[in-house]
Amino acid sequence: MRFQTLYEGRAIFAVVFLLGAVGWWFHLPWLLGLFGVLFLFCVNFFRDPHRDVPTEPGLVISAADGTVTDIVEVEEPEFLKSKCLRVGVFLSVFDVHVNRAPIAGKVTFVRHFPGLFLDARDLECSVKNEAMAWAFEGEGVTLVVRQITGAIARRIVPWSKLGDVVQRGHRFGMIRFGSRTEVYLPLGTEVTVEVGQKVKGGLTPIARLSR
């Protein structure tokens, strides 16, 4: 557990502990039981495990834990403004929600986009939901990552900022509760995952860049 990650859940933990205190004060076993379930859920959600980030040159690692939902060719409209391969990952409420840099490089673009809160499993959420886009400029390549809210996840938390130089696997932010994260790759990139595959942020290679 990391303090920075747990701190993002401070308001939620406060409400949970208030429920527990009320249950204890008024001797309400059912409320104490609810407190226990919610407390365990929050601890699980805000967990932030250590990851041994792969060091092999040319690898692009997953920016998030979750399930690969789509690998498609699309236009990246915010920064690259060109056709890219998009790898989309859906994060359930049971996945780690910390997002990590897919490559080492400099943060050259950060922008927040207001929007809706459609279910993150709906591909329409990619263009309609509230989101935050990041560009990471590495050696000879720039990748874009989009953090997208969902029906439950309604807050994107940025930890890095424009101009930061980060290592592959660096924690640059998180999304609270179920959501979606996308990585935009250059056309022709060798994708090493498939739809339906479970991935782990900072650990699972999702692509191999051309040298």
Q: List, for residues 135-176, the tens digit of each pLDDT value.
A: 999 999 999 999 998 666 567 889 999 999 999 999 999 987
Average pLDDT, the chain: 88
Whether 179 is catalytic is: yes
Q: CA 94, CA 74: separation in Å to the nearest integer?
A: 29
Strand-pairing partners, residue 31, are: none
Say which range, 48-52, 82-86, 175-179, has the weakest mean pLDDT. 175-179
Domain 59-208 fold: Glucose Permease (Domain IIA) (2.70.70)
Q: Report the candidate in 166, 165, 124, 125 with the shortest Cα–Cα distance to residue 147.
A: 125
From the list 82, 160, 179, 210, the catalytic residue is 179
Q: ∠80-86-90 over CA atoms, to 5°? A: 130
In sequence order, what are the residues at sequence separation of 6 or more whose Cβ sits closer than 8 angstroms to the Cβ of residue 88? 68, 69, 70, 71, 72, 123, 126, 180, 181, 182
57 class by beta-carbon count within 10 Å (0-12 exposed, 13-18 middle, 19+ buried): exposed
Does residue 105 surpass a pLDDT of 80?
yes
Phi-psi label, residue 41: left if phi above 0, alpha if psi -120 to 50, beta otherwise:
alpha
- Report pLDDT for 125: 65
Q: Are 185 and 120 in contact (CB under 8 A)?
A: no
Q: CA 197, CA 119: separation in Å to the nearest integer?
A: 20
Sorting pLDDT into bands at 50, 70 and 90, what band is 16? Answer: confident
Q: Are strands 98-100 and 82-91 parallel, antiparallel or unpaired?
A: unpaired
Q: CA 84, CA 142: separation in Å to the nearest integer?
A: 11
Q: Are 165 and 182 in contact (CB under 8 A)?
A: no
- Amino acid letter at 58? G
CATH 2.70.70 domain position(s) in the chain: 59-208
Q: CA 113, CA 135: separation in Å to the nearest integer?
A: 14
Sorting pLDDT into bands at 50, 70 and 90, what band is 208? Answer: very high
Q: Which residue has the tokens 């424009």?
A: 162
Q: CA 201, CA 193: separation in Å to the nearest integer?
A: 13
Greater model confidence, 185 or 42: 185
Q: Give the CA distances from residue 187 to residues 16, 36, 176, 207, in Å, rounded to whole numbers and listed in that order.
A: 47, 48, 31, 11
